Chains A and B, each alone.
Chain A
Amino acid sequence: MPSDDELLESLHPLERKVFPLLKEHDEVKALEAASGLQEVEVIRALQWLSNKKLIKTPVKQYRELAELDELGKRYLAEGLPEERFLAAAKNHSELGNIRSAARLSEEEAQFCLGHLRKRGLISLRKEGSALHVSLTGKPSPAEKEFLSSLAHGPRETASLSKEERSVLEELKRRKSLVRVRTAWEMRVSLTPLGKELLGRELHDAVETLTSEMLSSGSWKGKRFRRYDVEINVPATHPGKRHFVNQAIEYARRIWLDLGFREMTGPLLQPAFWNFDALFTAQDHPVRDLQDTFYIAKPARAKLPAEALVKRVQEVHENGGSTGSSGWRYAWDREEARRNVLRTHTTVLSARTLASLKELPAKYFALGVNFRNEAIDWSHNVEFNQTEGIVVDEDANFRHLLGYLRTFFRKMGYPEARFRPAYFPYTEMSVEIDVYHPVHKKWVELGGAGMFRPEVVVPLLGKDIPVLAWGPGFDRTIMEYFRIHDIRQLYGNDVKQLREMPLWMR
């Protein structure tokens, strides 16, 4: 608890203006007038004063007020139309004459006829083309009296008698006579502490330390207003990398640390590199239109050097020099020329193999790939993959598992499990599951394997073990950032981007 003096020193300039006025005023409007502040400033000051327990929490009290509207004010001076009508009808019987004598507009006259007939105060008869009016009763003064009672100012509806209330309802139905609005007032009452401190003198306190004060030294001996440093302040936001790219940067560093070189390459690829070089038969279902984005324009690519094309053709048709039977069909060069949006980063591995000079070699890539499917919370047209190959005479299946386990440990999954799988271009093929330490379940993260000789021999020229993997990366990212809808990876919600915590691995 601050001392009384500290409390007074912490008053904001607005509070300093309002607090002393509480001696004479206890209502916001009055404080507004007396202080010369705006209403919001007074209310803010009161809020702070109540935080400091100098006043009780001020509460807005709402009241419903009835008051004269535009026409109401005018009619009160000129007389209500029906009054004027009845007065004129004493001297005239023909409607036109009544209207001009009472100075009624067409609309007012129509209203009077309906209104007065309904109440049985007049009757009508037709003589030739003219309408004649005769008086049949005496009007009640209640409405006029009620309007007059509003002449001095609004009245609270809660204070009206039952009769007055029904008159008010009647008048509300007429255009612009009376209106009912909600008004509020806010009354302030001091706490015992507030009462005690109200009389104390408020010393001058410096609000802002200026450079002028520093150069002149005028700050010396001054008191500074004390702040409440414990309250919340408005949020501020940094500029930063997209959260997906933060994760990708981290994964890149893991591969670099493990001695891998980075591969990059185009997103648009000839089917030859994306499929054929990876021993994916031309009638394999993954090559269907509904899975792969084919390019309509430009539709066809150039094929690489003829010798390589020939080797790939042979390996599909009869296994070439690999000792394989191949897929045993007629390979179509035109099909291989079709352009696709790459369906996996493995296409980069295929290209790397085809131009590899030195062994052993270890390469990685992190990149986006494409899948032609309808987008929903768990399906997306673009996805990220982490790709890797190890080309080494001595590489074996256990090394494949070793690299994968190391990578996933660094990604925060202490346990990895490997199951048999199938991909056209690997044998052994592996499905990787990691154990989710929080959800306590196995999560499937994607594929790996050893490239088949039918892939390696045509590209590299000899049969050397090639470890290869390409698990998806989006699931890991979503798990980490607790994102449940895959579309949010590309949602670019500025609020989410601003508030998303950093990738902390």
Chain B
Amino acid sequence: MPTIELSRKAVEKLMGKRLPDEKLRDRISMLGTDLESVDRERIRVEVFPNRPDMLSEAGFARALSAFIGVKPRLRAYAARQSRYRVLVEPSVQEVRPFTACAVVSGLRFDDERIREVIQLQEKLHTTFCRNRKKAAIGIYPLEHIKWPVRYLAKAPADIRFHPLEAHGEMSAQGILELHPAGKSYGHLLAGKESYPLFVDARDEVLSMPPIINSHRTGRVSQKTRDVFIETSGFDLASQSLLLNIIVTALADLGGKIHVVKVLYPKGYGQRNLSTPDLAVRRMRLSREYANRLLGIALTEKDMAKLLGKMGLGFERGNALIPCYRADVLHPIDLVEDLAIAYGYERFEPALPQVATVGEAAPFTLFQEKVAALLAGLGLLETRSYHLSSRETQLEKMRAAPELVEIERSQNAELSVLRASLLPALMEVLQRNKRHEYPQRLFEMGACFSLDSATETGAAERFLLAYSGAHHKATFTEARQVLDCLGRHLGIQVSVRAADSPSFIPGRSGEIIVNGQALGWIGEVHPAVLSAFSVEQPVSAFELDLQKLFEVKP
């Protein structure tokens, strides 16, 4: 989740109110953002992904001020008509089909504001725009643009301009390969036959979305007063929201919003648009619904007041939702706004009288019995990762089961799921060579193998493993533990001689219950011991505990 840094002074100026540290901390947390720190200069908060409108000082201050009672009402915005036109050309349809645009005038940019606008743009890019994949934003000083602007696509070989943060003109290919922005986002265009461009009436390139603006026409400076804003992407609804979040933030900083007409060509499947669309949305919100879910008794008047604290309106059973709120999908989202405005801290926790009967999973109870018995024999229970390595599961054990494999683990040594628990116990012995012997251990847990008959294509078996390591560890000892377990569970367990590469030949066998082979028992092969650098003899067994559980005694 994105963490943003806000100037406390700017936020307080926008709110028109100053709060002491403690109060500010409390209110920010209870509004539904995760506060990281507050000092005299800065506020650092983590904004949840459902509220991209709070990623700017303006948007944050707007939400917080209403919440603390400064202007607690619906925030409505309006756009003036204008003659600005953006012409979409058919060539862009295959690459990045949609754009929604706006002009904002009358701004004053100092360095702090420029930093703030860039931060907003970047945070929106990484979160709401999914790293520019879903949508991207471009902002340009209005003064350099000759109208109308055109949105089109050209073959990479025909593109050449001077991008921001570069020393001169570059080709499209050069930008993708050499420019920092190209390296980060080039993959979004890679393989396309043509790349999207915004150009003005003189054919001057404004930008190559979603990569980079032109240096000549796309650099906001302290002199900039009016800006042109475009969004490009694949989903007009989210682009429209994105545009609203930016223009309303700029409007809160004193800007005036102007409509841009976006003209789509015939046969494109998209009618012409006047953007931004700042209309207030209405959604039905029933008082009964809200009260039933929240367990409180609000009147309609209360609801109007509470929604006002969230910057929403309420009239005649309908909530009025401002144009920048991206997260209201369903009336339940309005109920949450009511709850936040009411204050989570004010809800009295209650335990209802619901008659239900508690019931443990029978197999979990069985595990508890087995664990208690084994602990009574003096064994220590261990807990190992379900993730393991190919080397541990196969080479070191001299075994060859087919493994379930992880895609790109962040830990190279954890790249498969374990097929067996014994390797885990061997690793425990390896790590504990300096500690007192005998070391007698057991572990219970899920192990994995391929099985096309299951839902996932993998079978998950719940196994039990035992190992005893000390200078006189023998088969008999492991067999005693196994027999003891069977006897106390009331299950007839026998062993059928069989060799396995993990055990010493002639000293191992399969564990048989009801004629079914449930696992292995034996003295661990010295080659296995030395692969794990274990320096004591080890006798061990491993069996399918789930199957043992399913056996009727």
Contact = CB atoms under 8 A, between A and B. Distances in A.
Nearest to B382: A492
Nearest to B127: A285
Nearest to B333: A427
A72 interface: no
Contacts of A372: 408-410
Interface in A387-414: 390, 392, 394-399, 401-406
Interface string A424-439: 0001111100000000
Interface of A: 237-242, 244-245, 249, 252, 255-264, 266-270, 283-285, 289-290, 293-302, 319, 322-329, 339, 341, 360-362, 368, 370, 372-375, 381-382, 390, 392, 394-399, 401-406, 417-422, 427-431, 450, 452-454, 465, 489-495, 497-498
Given A239-B379, A319-B330, A328-B237, A362 B354 contact: yes
A330 to B, nearest CB: 10
Interface residues on B, range: 35 or more
Nearest to A291: B410
16 contacts: A241-B375, A255-B358, A262-B359, A266-B446, A297-B405, A298-B452, A341-B417, A360-B354, A372-B408, A394-B354, A397-B293, A421-B32, A490-B384, A492-B383, A493-B435, A494-B428
Contact of A283 (B130, B371, B380, B441): B130
A67 B403 CA distance: 67
Most buried by B among A297, A406, A452, A490: A297
Contact of B352 (A244, A252, A381, A395): A395
B386 interface: yes
Contacts of A427: 330, 332-333, 335-336
Contact of B357 (A259, A296, A453, A454): A259
Nearest to B371: A241
B143 to A, nearest CB: 36
B354 A239 contact: no
B411 A381 contact: yes
A325 B333 CA distance: 12
B499 interface: no
A240 B375 contact: yes
A494 B435 contact: yes
Given A239-B377, A252-B360, A453-B332, 8 more contacts: A239-B440, A370-B387, A372-B409, A392-B352, A394-B352, A395-B354, A398-B349, A406-B351
Give chain A's interface secondary structure class. mixed
Contacts of A382: 385-387
A204 B2 CA distance: 83
B492 interface: no
Contacts of B29: 419
A249 B428 CA distance: 23
A322 B330 contact: yes
A339 B458 contact: yes
Nearest to A267: B446
Contacts of A493: 431-432, 435
B384 A267 contact: no
Interface string B366-406: 00100110111111111111110000000000000001111
B530 interface: no
Given A240-B381, A298-B404, A494-B380, A399 B352 contact: yes
B268 interface: no
Nearest to A292: B407
Contacts of B30: 419-420
A381 B345 CA distance: 34
B549 interface: no
Interface in B106-134: 127, 130, 133-134
Interface string B248-289: 000000000000000000000000000000000000000000
B477 to A, nearest CB: 14
Interface in B309-364: 329-333, 335-336, 339-340, 344-345, 347-352, 354-361, 363-364
